Amino acid sequence: MTDFAYSPVTPEVVEELRALLSPGQVTIDEEKRAAYSRDEVAACSWDRPYLAEVLVFPECTAQVAAVLRFADERRIPVTPRGAGTGLSGGAVPAFGGIVLSLERMNAILEMDVDNLCITVEPGVVTSEITRAAAAAGLLYAGDPCSGDASFIGGNIAENAGGNKVIKYGSTGASVLALEVVLADGSVTWFGGKRRKDVTGYDFVKLLVGSEGTLGVVTKAILKLVPLPERIVDLLVPFPDAASAVAVVPRIMREASILPSSVEFMDALSVQLAERFLNRPVPHSDRAGAYLLIQIEGNDRDALADDYERIGRFCLEHGALEVFVADNRNVRDKLWKARKAVGEAMVAGFVQSALEDVVVPTSAVPELMREATRITETHGVEGINFGHIGDGNMHVNFVIRKPRADWHEVMDRALRDLYRTVRRLGGTLSGEHGIGLKRRKYMEEVMDTAQIALIRRVKQAFDPNNILNPGKIVPDV
Ligand SMILES: Cc1cc2nc3c(=O)[nH]c(=O)nc-3n(C[C@H](O)[C@H](O)[C@H](O)COP(=O)(O)OP(=O)(O)OC[C@H]3O[C@@H](n4cnc5c(N)ncnc54)[C@H](O)[C@@H]3O)c2cc1C
C-alpha cells in the first residue's frame, strides 16, 4: 500500500509517551484499543481487522504537539479520533500505531456575541455547541444527524453536512479559524474572527475536510447566526420516489421559499426507523416516499403562509397528504425517525453499504432511476434516504442473507454507482468523506493531475506520512 516504513510501538515507546503525557493518558489495554480502532462503518466493509497499538488522550494543545513531534521523529503513524461516528473509516488506524483521541479536549472556551462566534476545543459534542449558541439567542447551523454524539473536530475534519446545508452550508461554512498542530508538532492558527480574508491561500478551507491527514485541529472558531424564533416541519408522503424527488427543486424555484431542510426517505427507510425506535412515525399506507421539509422564521403569520404555500404546492404535484408539525414534541419525533434511518439500516440487514454520493440537484431524479438499475444489475436491495435538498443522497445497498462474495459484489455495484454519479456531474461523497472505505475509488472521479496534486499537498504538510496514513490519498 505504501513505501513508508513505520516503527512499531514497543514497550519503550509506550513508556516515553507516558513520560510525555501522564500514565493515565496512555493505554495499551486491548479491549479499549479495539473499541477505539473502529468507527460506524459496518464491519462487513473491511477485508481485515485494524488495531491501534497504543491510545493517547491529550488534554491540551501542547500535549498534542508533543505526541506528534515524538511520532514524527520515530516514524509512528498517528490517527486522530473524535467520537468515532465516522462513516468512511477515517478514524480506523490503517497502519496501527497511535490513536490520538481528542475526547478530553472538550471545553467551550469563549462565546463572543459581539462577533457572533464561539471558540471550542475539538472534543465538544456538536449538539452542545448548538445548545450553547441557543442559550445566547444564536444558531450554530451545523446539524449532522449524528450531532448528539459526534465531536466538532470530527465534523471539521469531515466537513460534515447534515440537515441544514441548503440554507447554511456544510460545517466548513461555519468555520472561521482553526488552531492546528502540524505533523512535526508545530502549532499554528489559520483564519481568525474576521469574516473576510484573502491573505494568501485559504488554509482553513484546505484543513476542513482533510480527515486528519494534514494536521490535528485543537481549537476552532465557529460562526454563529441569529436564531430563528419559529420552526415548522412538514412530513409529506408521495406515492413513489419519482414524484417526491421531482417536486424538490420546484419548491425553491416556483414556491420561492428557501427551506432550511429538505430530506428524503423512501418507504422502507421509514419502516426501518419505526422498527428500530419501536415507535410509530406518522405515515401513509399508500406512500412510496416522504419529504421532510423544515422552514423557519420569526413571524408566525408569514411562516404559516410559507408552509401553506409549500403544502399546497406539494399536493398539487402529487403529494398524498401533508402532516404539519408545528410543536417541539412532534417535530422531535419526526427528526428522531429521520436521524435513526442510517443506524436502523445497518442494524436491520446482515450486510450493508451506506453510501454518500452527491449530484447536482437537477440530476437527482436520474440518480434515483440509476440506483434502481444498479441494485437490479448487481442482485442487491436498495434503500434510499438523504439530504435531497442539496443533492446528497444516501444510495445504499443491502442484502438479507450473508454472501461470501459480498466484497466482490459491492466493488462492482459501487464502481457502477460512482461512474454513474461522475457522468451526472456528481462525486463519491458529499459529507462522510473518503477515509479508508472509498480511497481506492478516488480514480473513478479524479483525474491524474488532481491526484498528483493531492499527493503533493500531503507531502508538503506531512513529509513522513505519519498523519492518518491510508486515508484519502491513493497508495499513500
Ligand atoms: C447515525 C449517524 C448519522 C450520521 N449523520 C451524518 C450527517 O447527517 N451528516 C454528516 O456529515 N455525517 C453524518 N454521520 C457521519 C459522522 O457522524 C460525521 O462524519 C462526523 O463528522 C464524525 O465526527 P466524529 O467526531 O465521530 O469523528 P471520527 O469518526 O472520530 O473521525 C472522523 C475523521 O475525523 C478525523 N478527526 C477527528 N478529530 C479530528 C481533529 N481534532 N483533528 C483532525 N482530524 C480529526 C479522524 O482522523 C477521521 O478521519 C453520521 C454518522 C452516524 C453514525
Burial 96-109 (b: 16+ CB within 10 A, else e): bbbbbbbbebbebe
Residue where one domain finishes, among candidates 329, 361, 376: 329
Residues 268, 283, single domain; the answer is yes
Is 450 within the bounds of a domain? no
Residues 213 and 116 in one domain: yes
84 close to ligand 1 (CB < 6 Angstrom): yes
How many angstroms is it from 320 CA to the middle of ligand 1? 36
| CA 278 / ligand 1 centre spacing (Å) | 26
Give how far the C-alpha of residue 208 lies from the chain's centroid of Cα atoms, to the nearest Å: 12
Q: Are residues 115 and 210 in the same domain?
A: yes
171 ligand 1 Cβ < 6 A: no
* Pocket flag, ligand 1, residue 462 (CB < 6 Å): no
Atom of ligand 1 nearest to the CA of 471: 49
Tell the burial category of 346 from Cβ atoms under 10 Å away from its Cβ (0-12, 13-18, 19+): buried
Q: Which residue has the cell 419526526?
A: 334
Based on the domain organization, do 222 and 242 belong to the same domain?
Answer: no
Q: What letters, b where the CB count within 10 A reaches 16 and e where it falls short, cover 381-407?
A: ebbbbbbbbbbbbbbbbbbeeeeeebe
Cα separation, 180 vs 435, in Å, equals 20
Asked whether 431 lines ligand 1 (CB < 6 A), one says yes
CB atoms within 10 A of CB 30: 9
Q: Are residues 174 and 282 in the same domain?
A: no
Q: Assess if residue 146 is contained within a domain.
A: yes
How many Cβ atoms sit within 10 Å of the Cβ of residue 119? 18
Centre of ligand 1 from the C-alpha of residue 471, in Å: 14
Residue 286 Cα to ligand 1 middle (Å)? 36
213 lines ligand 1 (CB under 6 A): no
Residues 145 and 165 in one domain: yes
Atom of ligand 1 nearest to the CA of 215: 43
Final residue belonging to a domain, choices 205, 226, 247 = 226
Atom of ligand 1 nearest to the CA of 432: 19
Residue 117 φ/ψ, nearest 5 degrees: -155, 165
Are residues 254 and 206 part of one domain?
no
- Joined together, the cell numbers standing for residue 98 give 497511535
Same domain, 124 and 204: yes
272 in a domain, yes or no? yes
CA pair distance 124, 149, nearest whole angstrom: 9
| Cβ-based neighbours of 350, under 8 Å, separated by 6 or more | 44, 399, 400, 401, 402
Atom of ligand 1 nearest to the CA of 156: 21
Range of the domain at 251: 228-329
Question: pTM to 2 decimals?
Answer: 0.97
Contacts of 77 (CB under 8 A, 6+ apart): 6, 71, 93, 94, 95, 96, 97, 98, 465, 466, 467, 468, 469
User: Are 361 and 426 within one domain?
Assistant: yes
**Residue at which a domain ends, from 181, 206, 226:** 226
Q: Is the beta carbon of 209 within 6 A of some atom in ligand 1? A: no
Residue 325 grid coordinates: 408539525
Residue 256 lies in a domain: yes
Give how many domains the chain has, as a whole number: 3
At residue 289, the 3 state secondary structure works out as strand
- CATH number for the domain including 136? 3.30.465.10
Q: How far is CA 469 from CA 23, 58, 450, 458, 463, in A?
A: 26, 20, 19, 10, 11
Give yes or no: residues 324 and 356 share one domain. no
Residue 280 has what pLDDT? Answer: 87
The three-class DSSP label of residue 193 is coil
Q: Quick one: which atom of ligand 1 is closest to the CA of 160?
A: 11
Domain membership flag for residue 266: yes
What is the spatial distance between Cα 157 and Cα 430, in angstroms, rounded to a whole number? 13
CATH code, domain with 365: 3.30.70.2740
Q: What is the pLDDT of residue 263?
A: 97
Closest CA to 100 of 155, 67, 154, 56: 56
365 and 322 in a common domain? no
Query: Considering the domain boundaries, does residue 36 fall inside one?
Result: no
Record the cell numbers describing residue 452, joined without a space: 498528483
The per-residue b/e assignment along 209-240, b for 16 or more CB within 10 angstroms, e otherwise, is bbbbbbbbbbbbbbbbeebeeebbbbbbbbbb
**Binding site membership of 120 for ligand 1 (Cβ less than 6 Å):** no
**Residue 434, CA distances (Å) to 145, 158, 187 in order:** 18, 9, 26
Specify if 410 maps to a domain: yes
The H-assigned helical ranges of 75-210 are 126-135, 152-158, 165-168, 203-207
Measured CA distances, 304 to 147, 156, 168, 227, 260 (Å): 28, 35, 22, 18, 15
The per-residue pLDDT for 1 is: 47
Residue with the smallest CA separation from ligand 1 atom 52 is 146
Whether residue 116 is contained in a domain is answered as yes
Q: Which CATH number does the domain housing residue 318 bear?
A: 3.30.70.2190
- pLDDT tens-digit profile, the chain (476 residues): 455 689 999 999 999 999 999 999 999 999 999 999 999 998 889 989 999 999 999 999 999 999 999 999 999 999 999 999 999 999 999 999 999 999 999 999 999 999 999 999 999 999 999 999 999 999 999 999 999 999 999 999 999 998 999 999 999 999 999 999 999 999 999 999 999 999 999 999 999 999 999 999 999 999 999 999 999 999 999 999 999 999 998 888 888 899 999 999 999 999 999 999 998 888 888 999 999 999 999 999 999 999 999 999 999 999 999 999 988 999 999 999 999 999 999 999 999 999 999 999 999 999 999 999 999 999 999 999 999 999 999 999 999 999 999 999 999 999 999 999 999 999 999 999 999 999 999 999 999 999 999 999 999 999 999 999 999 987 66
3-state class of 36 per DSSP?
coil
What separation in Å is there between the alpha carbon of 365 and the centre of ligand 1?
A: 28
How far CA 298 is from CA of 136, 230, 306, 406, in Å, comes to 16, 6, 12, 51
Do residue 297 and residue 252 come from a single domain? Answer: yes
